[in-house]
């Protein structure tokens, strides 16, 4: 499929101070759009000026949330070039999410090529500052003007780009996490593994209550027994207990994170014992009491590697590693960002150059 290009006639000024980008507030000059109509498939691929879109008030995505998305980043290297980290994995996961949400499959190779073309056009927007990057948000949503509940016949696929800094305002400083016991994020047979808006909407109430208690994020427990640890919503979670790296296994209600998968691969390469299994919050608390909970950290595209300094479970407040970043978290952060920003060799073939 050909990609039509319409360039903006009114390019915006680039952010003057890259240390104050924040996360996800600023958008570049262009975006990628493609339509789907039943019987016709995906068509009309185009890169057009970034701007508002017109949608029927009856558009099905607004009523029943038939939507999926992805998150990845483009990084500026020391020689000025631009590269992405495992973008093929994002489009592969997008098709898994699409299948669950009854959204038509995309041609992964085609959209990767379209993304490459878009980032190439917008490469001057990729920040030059360490720790900042161009956040990439591909998404698909149902557009049929219809208020009945059914899988839609019409969709838009879009990619927008946002020069961004750290996701958490604390940067690499440890975050405070609150173990949620009242609400659940995902249930057996639900959509927990898919990257769909509903999983984020359902998390807002818990997050809001955590914020009111001065905690940044919520650690979700399983939706059946509320015993087993799942994920943080904005990131997957890892525990280092007595030298062993443990992360909840992918049971269907946890997002299969690409940074999660890459962290497991790195730790294994370093000869560490890494286990994907079910782990209860009780076990974590017992390890803490026994002085064996060495580190807790989250992994995600937006969050990168995010150390957890405090974990609150009911009345119990666990202060982890003296509220300091631990050795495994630091090594993972340095290696992951080293590969992403081209400072370390790409031994795994994870880098996609623009
Ligand atoms: C990402 O890490 O890219 C995500 O999509 C998570 C979102 C909370 C920003």
- What's 49's domain CATH number? 3.30.470.10
Final residue of a structural domain among 114, 138, 164: 164
Residues with beta carbon inside 6 Å of ligand 1? 71, 234, 300-302
What are 24-55's pLDDT values in tens digits?
A: 999 999 999 999 999 999 999 999 999 999 99
**Confidence (pLDDT) at 130:** 87
Instruction: Report the SS3 class of residue 202.
Output: coil
Q: Tell me, yes or no, whether 16 and 138 share the same domain.
A: yes
Does any domain span residue 169?
no
Nearest residue (CA) to ligand 1, atom 7: 234
Q: In DSSP terms, which residues pair with 307 in a beta bridge?
A: 297
Q: Write out the two tokens for 123.
A: 């490469």
198 plus 147 within the same structural domain = no
pLDDT of residue 169: 72
Q: At residue 233, does pLDDT exceed 90?
A: no
Q: Answer yes or no: do 68 and 45 share one domain.
A: yes
Q: How confident is the model at residue 193 (pLDDT cuts 50, 70, 90)?
A: very high
Question: Which residue among 234, 235, 255 is best mutated to probe the pocket of ligand 1, counting the most ligand atoms within 8 A of its Cβ?
Answer: 234
What average pLDDT does range 348-354 have in this prediction?
96
Residues 132, 73 share a domain:
yes
Segments forming the whole domain that contains residue 195: 175-340
314 is a domain residue? yes
How far is the centre of ligand 1, averaged over its atoms, from the C-alpha of 231 (Å)? 13
- Do the domain assignments include residue 268? yes
81 and 131 in a single domain? The answer is yes
Q: Could you tell me the distance, in angstroms and rounded to a whole number, from the CA of residue 236 to the centre of ligand 1?
A: 11
- Looking at every residue in the chain, the average pLDDT score rounds to 96
100-116 residues labelled b (16+ CB within 10 A) or e (exposed) = bbebbebebeebbebbb
Average pLDDT over residues 311-333: 96
180 within domain boundaries: yes
pLDDT for 116 beyond 90: yes
User: Ligand 1, closest atom to CA 23?
Assistant: 9
Hey, CA dihedral for 205, 206, 208, 209, is it positive or negative? positive
Confidence (pLDDT) at 78 = 93
The confidence score (pLDDT) of residue 152 equals: 98
Residues 25 and 51 in one domain: yes
pTM (two decimals): 0.95
CA-CA distances (angstroms) from residue 258 to 71, 300, 301, 317, 335?
Answer: 10, 7, 7, 30, 15
Residues 282 and 207 placed together within one structural domain of the fold: yes
Out of 164, 186, 205, a domain closes at 164
Nearest alpha carbon to residue 101 among 67, 71, 70: 67
Share of the chain above pLDDT 70, in %: 99
Question: How far is Cα 10 from Cα 5, in angstroms, rounded to an integer?
Answer: 15
In a domain, 278, yes or no: yes
Confidence of residue 173 (pLDDT cuts 50, 70, 90): confident
Helix (H) or strand (E) holding 338: helix 327-340
How many folded domains does the chain comprise? 2
Are 331 and 193 members of one domain? yes
DSSP 18: G
Q: Do 306 and 210 reside in the same domain of the chain?
A: yes
Distance CA 22, CA 20 (A): 6
Q: Which two tokens stand for residue 352?
A: 């996609």
Classify residue 118: in a domain, yes or no.
yes
**Which one, of 94, 86, 116, lies nearest residue 42 by Cα?**
94
Q: Tens of pLDDT along 51-81?
A: 999 999 999 999 999 999 999 999 999 999 9
Rounded to an integer, what distance in angstroms lies between the CA atom of residue 101 and that of residue 271? Answer: 38
Mutate to test the pocket of ligand 1, among 70, 235, 302, 336 (most ligand atoms within 8 A of CB): 302
Among the candidates 121, 140, 164, a domain finishes at 164
Give 252-299 pLDDT, tens digit per residue. 999 999 999 999 999 999 999 999 999 999 999 999 999 999 999 999
In this predicted structure, what is the pLDDT of residue 229?
97
Q: Is residue 78 part of a domain?
A: yes
Ligand 1: nearest atom to the Cα of 24: 9
Give the pLDDT band (50/70/90) at residue 338. very high
Are 330 and 242 within one domain?
yes
What's the CA-to-centroid distance between 292 and ligand 1, angstroms? 30
C-alpha pair distances (Å), 292 with each of 35, 283, 284, 321, 344: 53, 11, 9, 10, 32
Kindly state whether residue 349 falls inside one of the protein's structural domains.
Answer: no
Q: Tell me, yes or no, whether 180 and 155 share the same domain.
A: no
| Same domain? 60 vs 152 | yes
Tokens representing 223?
């939706």
């Amino acid at each position: 499929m050909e990609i039509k290009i319409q360039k903006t006639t009114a390019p915006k000024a680039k952010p003057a101070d890259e240390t104050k980008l924040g996360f996800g507030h600023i958008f570049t000059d262009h975006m990628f759009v493609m339509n789907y109509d039943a019987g016709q498939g995906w068509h009309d691929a185009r890169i057009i000026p970034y701007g508002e879109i017109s949608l029927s008030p009856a558009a099905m995505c607004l009523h029943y949330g038939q939507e999926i998305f992805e998150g990845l980043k483009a990084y500026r290297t020391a020689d000025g070039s631009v590269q992405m980290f495992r973008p093929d994995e994002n489009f592969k996961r997008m098709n898994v999410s699409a299948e669950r949400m009854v959204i038509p499959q995309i041609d992964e190779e085609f959209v990767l090529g379209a993304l490459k073309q878009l980032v190439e056009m917008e490469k001057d927007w990729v920040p030059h500052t360490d720790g900042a990057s161009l956040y990439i948000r591909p998404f698909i949503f149902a557009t049929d003007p219809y208020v009945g509940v059914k899988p839609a016949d019409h969709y838009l696929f879009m990619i927008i780009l946002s020069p961004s800094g750290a996701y958490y305002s604390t940067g690499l400083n440890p975050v405070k996490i609150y173990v949620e016991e009242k609400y659940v994020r995902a249930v057996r047979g639900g959509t927990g593994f898919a990257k769909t808006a509903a999983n984020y909407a359902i998390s807002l109430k818990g997050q809001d209550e955590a914020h009111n208690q001065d905690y940044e994020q919520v650690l979700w427990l399983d939706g059946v027994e509320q015993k087993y640890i799942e994920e943080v919503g904005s990131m997957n979670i890892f525990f280092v207990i007595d030298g062993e790296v443990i992360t909840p296994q992918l049971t269907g209600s946890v997002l299969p994170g690409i940074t999660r998968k890459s962290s497991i691969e790195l730790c294994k390469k370093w000869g560490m014992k890494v286990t994907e299994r079910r782990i209860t919050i009780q076990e974590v608390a017992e390890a803490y009491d026994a002085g064996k909970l060495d580190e807790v950290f989250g992994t995600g595209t937006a969050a990168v590697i995010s150390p957890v300094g405090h974990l609150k479970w009911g009345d119990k407040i666990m202060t982890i590693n003296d509220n300091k970043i631990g050795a495994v978290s630091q090594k993972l952060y340095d290696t992951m960002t080293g590969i992403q920003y081209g400072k370390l060799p790409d031994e795994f073939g994870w880098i996609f150059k623009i």
